[in-house]
Amino acid sequence: MNTSETQMDPTAERKLSLSAHALVLVIICAIGLVGNTVATDIPIADGFVGLIVLYVISMVGLVLTELVPIKLPSVAWISLIGILATLPWTPGSEWIVAQATNVNFLTLATPCLAYAGIAIAKQEIDIAKSSGWKIFIVAVLVMTGTYLGSAFIADLFL
């Protein structure tokens, strides 16, 4: 009984090792480079250097996730490193920004969503079916609520 619960709990996701992350990131960046070249007029060589920069930022973030005792998700560390590396006060930040500019941000999300579409499990479809239309309406309202709520408060204080 208990196994179905742990299987369905998305927070209990299998952990891959750091070296596996390093290898997968190479594949992801290669797919990203193809996407970037298809979607934009940016020469493949420029996109290549840009993706190497993003790869290094991601890896530094992953290493920090392992080393630092404060528990933050790896994406939080990665964005922190990306921010620190490109602050106007950071030496060499102009070069990093210039390289990263050669990668289109929206194209980078495309492979991720392809994996997400392929990853949908049978259980997830079963849950969606059995929860029915009520939970669908509630979910749409939940997402609308967080978006409108944040936009409303932000507008008040801008």
Helix (H) or strand (E) holding 61: helix 44-67
* Residue from 80, 27, 36 nearest 55 by CA: 27
User: Which 121-150 residues touch other proteins, going by CB under 8 A?
Assistant: 121-122, 124-125, 127-128, 131, 134-150
User: Which 64-103 residues touch other proteins, going by CB under 8 A?
Assistant: 72-76, 78-88, 90, 93, 96-97, 100, 103
Nearer to other proteins, 45 or 156 (CB): 156
∠ Cα 36 65 16 (to 5°): 70
Residue 41 interacts with other proteins (CB under 8 A): yes or no: no
* Residue from 9, 97, 84 nearest 53 by CA: 97
- Give the pair of three-digit tokens for residue 105: 């941000």
Closest separation in Å from C-beta 69 to other proteins: 16
Residue 44 interacts with other proteins (CB under 8 A): yes or no: no
* Residue from 49, 84, 81, 53 nearest 67 by CA: 81
Nearer to other proteins, 45 or 118 (CB): 118
Among 3, 17, 91, 92, binds other proteins (CB under 8 A): 17
